[in-house]
Structures are given as structure tokens and as C-alpha cells.
Structure 1
Amino acid sequence: MTSAEDRPDPQHERPEGVDDATVSALGKISEALEAVEVARGHLYTFHRMSGTADLTLGEGVDALREAGHGELADRVEREMVGRNVLHGRWSFQIVEEYDDGYYETFRRVERELREELVEGRRHLFEAEMKEDRRTHGKAGHEARPVEGAEGDQPG
């Protein structure tokens, strides 16, 4: 493999004149955005589980009624089935508010910083870490994918 083929994609190389402190700071901001992505995933899990709970509760109410406990079924249905999880909100409304507010703003700010400071390039900190840690010239340690090649595909 020639040295040109064993180099990172140009989108993963820092632009001329960008210092270590800037790359490190953007790496931390990217790390924070990744944590927000995980939190968003958990929020969607909350949304899905809340909906599942409400539908399952409805089945439980039906079963109570079929078992001859109509008054108790009516009470549970009135108090819990279809109830807001937060004041005025079902879980989908929480997800929408998070997505449209905090999440979208965070993504925009992170992107604007990258555009202003490093020509929009992503994951420079990680790309440089990869260059530092990989064994140059060794199979499974390539700088980037080689067309038609198969092999290790670590995360």
C-alpha cells in the first residue's frame, strides 16, 4: 500500500492552521452531542414504553371488566387510560418539543462551530486518535476503506 493510500480521507485531516486546542475543544463538543443523541434515544424509548404501557393498561381494564369488576375497570379507565405523562402532554409531545428545541439547537450550534473553525469537518479528534493508535501498513489497520476490500469492520 502506498503512503497516499494509507492516509486518512482529506475530510478527516485538520485544515491548515488549526491548533490542537481547537481540535480538542471541538472533540469535547462532539462528545457532548453524542451524549445528547443517546439521551434522545432514551427519550424515544420512554415514548415507546409509555405508549405500550397505556395500550397494555387498556387491555388490563378490558380483562378486569370481563372478570366482572366493571366499577374498578371504569375507575382505572377514567384515572389512567390516556392520561398525560406530563401536564398537558403525551410522550409524543415531549419528544417533539425536545427535538424542535434543545436537540435541533444543539446540532445547529455544533455544525456552525465546525463550519467556522475547521471547514465543517467532523470527528477530527477521533480521526487523529485513529492515526496515532493504528499500526500503519498492517491489514485491519487501514486509514480508510479500500474499494472492494473486505475485513475487520470495527465501530
Structure 2
Amino acid sequence: MDLGSQSTRELLRLYSGVLGELAERSVIRTLNAPAGDLAETLVATAYTGALAPNSEKSWDVSTGDGRLLQVKSRVVKASAIRKPIQFSVFRSWTFDAAVFVVFAAESYDVLAGIEVPAASVEAKALATGWVGGSRLTVSLAVLRALPGAVDRTFELQRAYERIDVAGATG
């Protein structure tokens, strides 16, 4: 399909249809931009966990061994992968670890997945009063070097392969 020949409205209708199909397959849970929902689904799949209810404030996935994970994601151009990445705000610290998932803007492939203990994230994040929480802006190299950090990229890529089946549902 030649996207350049489509009108803005046609592109948005196509995007809406794609989001609807991804929701039908249980890959995403809302019809917002899919990165956050996709990251949560991948983490739940990789950790054999369960997604939190949509209204849960502190964590996104509970693992089979009882840990609570906060999931943060970003979509970046592969050419910018070495630059600092700003993740969304943390408003509470009542989770065991955060899993940071970075997708390639060109393909939505998983470029990185890094699990970091909550205490290490909290120590590195900066309080941002106007958003009522703390923000973490770091390069992947710094993220991987935080105390207790574990690279989970391979596990998340394998989880993506497991859910990447036409018509599959969670």
C-alpha cells in the first residue's frame, strides 16, 4: 500500500483499524498509541505474569513468583539508540522492579529490555514537581549499569515472537 497517496483521514482510519485488530488479538488493551500496551503484554508474556487492572497506579505486571513490575516504554529511531531516553513519570515506588522496553520507531522491534530494581530506579530518577512524580532520563548504557540491572532484551524479543501470530489472542 502506498501510504503517501492516502489522505490524512484515510491514514487515521487505517491506524484505527490496526489498533482495533491488535486489541481484538489481546496484544493491546486500549486504543491509544500501542507502545505502552505492547510493552506490558510482552513483559507479561516473557515473565509468565498477569497484567494489572487498567486502573492500577503502581505496577503493570505481577509475575508468577509474586513480584510486581512497573513497565516503561519508548519508541526511538534506531539511529538515536545511544542518546538519553526520557521515560514517563513514576508516581509511586510500590513495585519490585521496572522493566524498560525500547522499540525501534521504524519497525516496533524490541531494541532493548532492561529490568532494574525499584530502589535503583528511585535513586537515579529526578523529582519533577510540575508532573507530581519522578522522571528517569538515561542512555541505555547508564540504565544497564544501574545496581541490579538485568538485560531482558532476548526474553522480550522471544515473547514478541510468541504473540506475533496472525489472529492470535493472549
After TM superposition, the score normalised by the length of structure 1 is 0.23
Higher helix proportion: 1
Q: Which has the higher strand share?
A: 2
Q: Which has the higher contact order (CA 8 A, sep 6+)?
A: 1
Q: Which has the larger radius of gyration?
A: 1
